[in-house]
Amino acid sequence: MSAELSYAHGTGTTPLLGDTIGGNLQRAVEAWPDRDALVDVPSGRRWTYAHFGAAVQELALGLLASGVAKGDRVGIWAVNCPEWVLVQYATARIGAIMVNINPAYRTHELAYVLKQSGISVLISSSGHKGTDYREMVRQVASECPQLRERVFIGEPSWDALVAGGSGVRYEQLAAREAELSCDDPVNIQYTSGTTGFPKGATLSHHNILNNGYWVGETVGYTEQDRVCLPVPFYHCFGMVMGNLGATSHGACIVIPAPSFEPAATLRAVQEERCTSLYGVPTMFIAELNLPDFASYDLSSLRTGIMAGSPCPAEVMKRVVAEMHMAEVSICYGMTETSPVSLQTRRDDDLERRTGTVGRVLPHIEVKVIDPVTGVTLPRGEPGELCTRGYSVMLGYWGEPERTAEVVDAGRWMHTGDLAVLREDGYAQIVGRIKDMIIRGGENIYPREIEEFLYGHPAIADVQVVGVPHEKYGEEVLACVILRDAADGLTLDELRAYCRDRLAHYKVPTRLRILDAFPMTVSGKVRKVELREGYGEL
């Protein structure tokens, strides 16, 4: 009998949602008008679904009054705040395309995004933690002829935008909404490439509404849930898995702080009796390591989502036991797939939550292929993970050639990730194709070595990369953060630990001890910087 192929199709008894984001929000407003929809802990402001729906409508009318047409791009450059959420839903209601701009961008990157997407209206924070957004916008405005209006949250320009809607009749909004299809583009998210400028993944109502809904379904959201979101809204984690996951179930969005602060996050969970908490593993580690962690009452927590990078087993054990998150879920995805393709289930054991990224979600397909031939591999063999279904982006904004590089003729999105699809249908990510080390013709998957080295008593964190080698092409460099810097660790000690337990070609031949790893703003380690920074002897 031939081996089972690395292909899985998520089936479900519940059909996909066919409405727009605005239509779906209206259903929530009608079903749960008196339940909390949005709470901003720093300012103490809160909205019921009835109030939230009215505020979204008021802003939508204001955008219509300012001349925003269907398909126009409206930029949002802000840290987490209630206005960010209002802009998300108001732009969706009028058929505009909201462009997420990373709050960490500097003028060079800001100018690129404004021009590349053709933003006509920019809604921005005035500043955050010493960064003057207003001045940065002023510096680049002359380069962006399509930018005709600048609005700053909390300032008179914001108030004027909202007030402008009083002169627009509701019938004009209803007429605009009647023109909208769930397949219309509604969002552009720029993905940080390791080379060149970022690409604008263009997502439809259908893409992100359904993905948020299914992520919420998988963790069992109802109108009783209160979701604490310390993750950034400008990223799919916050605005899709968070905001849309909540509103599609009548749950409440809780904003603990403008940007991540571990103490503020736990305080928000305690005060607002949150049932769900999101974060990348480093966020959960920071919360667990607070000196007064034990003083917070986290007993209201039931579930949450951890994504962005692999979760060490010891951290997961503490999250489940000490944070009361018995049903915490691991998600895997990418911006181009709205984002989640694979997710662990509420009753999965520790091994599946720490050793895999879950199994395929309903209405999505995944397969693992040979990166060279494109042929689907037998289960258990590593290859490139591809995904297909409602979640695959419309394309990169204005860049059909770059779209064709990752979405093939069969509408499969090629993730660039190396994965193994197990016999039980759960997937393991073993690395990135570009991170794979080829030493003397042997394929080495850094993730395997990293998982092994996590067991070393002196090592708190580790990243493995390939660096140039004259004879073998590449050799293995281990970059480690020590539990206690005073203890030290030598290459000979590390190699002795690996000997007899790893194949000789996988044993690191180089070691760098670091205080911290270079990170992207979304919490992922920048391996390219490790390779470039420590590749020379």
Q: Could you tell me the two tokens for 522? A: 């979304």
Check if the beta carbon of residue 127 is closer than 8 Å to that of residue 134.
yes
pLDDT for the residue 257: 98
Residue 490 exposed, middle or buried by CB count within 10 Å (0-12, 13-18, 19+): exposed
pLDDT band at 499 (very low <50, low <70, confident <90, very high): confident
- pLDDT for position 251: 99
Evaluate if residue 502 carries a pLDDT over 70. yes
Average pLDDT over residues 11-35: 97
Tell me what pLDDT residue 382 has: 94
- For 405-425, write each residue's pLDDT tens digit: 999 999 999 999 999 999 999
Q: What is the pTM of this model?
A: 0.89
110's enclosing H/E stretch is helix 107-117
Report in angstroms the alpha-carbon separations of 324 from 112, 205, 272, 328, 467.
44, 34, 15, 9, 42
Q: What is the pLDDT of residues 57-76, one digit of tens each?
A: 999 999 999 999 999 999 99
Residue 193: its pLDDT value, please?
53
CB 284 within 8 A of CB 306: yes
For residue 299, the model assigns a pLDDT of 98
Of residues 521 and 248, more confidence is placed in 248
The share of the chain scoring above pLDDT 70, in percent, equals 98
Q: Is the pLDDT of residue 216 over 90?
A: yes
Mean pLDDT of 464-475: 89
How far is Cα 439 from Cα 466, in angstroms, rounded to an integer? 9
CA dist 405 → 257, 386, 393 (Å):
38, 13, 13
Torsion of CA 102, 107, 108, 114, to 10 degrees: 60
Those residues whose C-beta lies under 8 Å from the C-beta of residue 445, and which sit 6 or more positions away, are 382, 418, 430, 431, 436, 437
Residue 196 confidence class, pLDDT cut points 50, 70, 90: low
Residue type, 213: Y
Q: Which residues contact 160 (CB under 8 A, 6 or more apart)?
A: none
Helices and strands, number each (H, E), in the chain: 18, 28
Longest dimension (CA), the chain: 77
Task: Cite the beta strand spans of 14-159 per DSSP E.
Answer: 36-40, 45-48, 73-77, 97-100, 119-124, 127-128, 131-132, 149-152
Q: Look-up: residue for tokens 């955008």?
A: 63
Beta carbons of 296 and 247 less than 8 angstroms apart: no
Q: Which of 301, 306, 305, 351 is nearest to 321 (CA)?
A: 301
Structural domain spans, the chain: 21-419, 436-534
| Lowest-confidence segment of 27-41, 288-302, 423-437, 519-533 by average pLDDT | 519-533
User: Which sign, positive or negative, has the C-alpha torsion 439, 442, 443, 449?
Assistant: negative
* Residue 416, both tokens: 């660039």
436-534 carries CATH number 3.40.225.10: no
Reduce the DSSP state of residue 449 to 3 states and report it: helix
Pairwise CA distance, residues 447 & 433, whole Å: 12
Alpha helices in 164-235 (DSSP H): 170-178, 205-218
**21-419 CATH, one of 3.40.50.10420, 3.20.20.140, 3.40.50.12780, 3.30.160.270:** 3.40.50.12780
Do the beta carbons of residue 68 and residue 95 sit within 8 Å?
no
**Residue 124 clears pLDDT 70, i.e. is over it:** yes
pLDDT recorded at residue 1: 45
The answer to whether residue 95 scores a pLDDT higher than 80 is yes
Give the model confidence (pLDDT) of 304-322 as tens digits.
999 977 777 888 999 999 9
Among candidate residues 288, 290, 287, 231, the one with its CA nearest the CA of residue 259: 231
Query: pLDDT at residue 101 above 90?
Result: yes
Cα dihedral across residues 454, 457, 463, 467: positive or negative? negative
Contact 360, 9 (CB under 8 A): yes
Mean of per-residue pLDDT scores for the chain:
94
- Quick check: 237 and 278 in contact, CB under 8 A? yes
Higher-confidence residue: 255 or 434?
A: 255
Q: How many CB atoms lie within 10 A of CB 12?
A: 12
Return d(Cα 196, Cα 91) in angstroms, integer.
Answer: 29
Torsion sign, CA atoms 371, 377, 383, 386: positive
Give the list of residues 6+ apart from residue 225 with CB closer than 8 angstroms, or none: 246, 249, 251, 252, 275, 276, 302
Please write the tens of the pLDDT for every residue from 222-267. 999 999 999 999 999 999 999 999 999 999 999 999 999 999 999 9
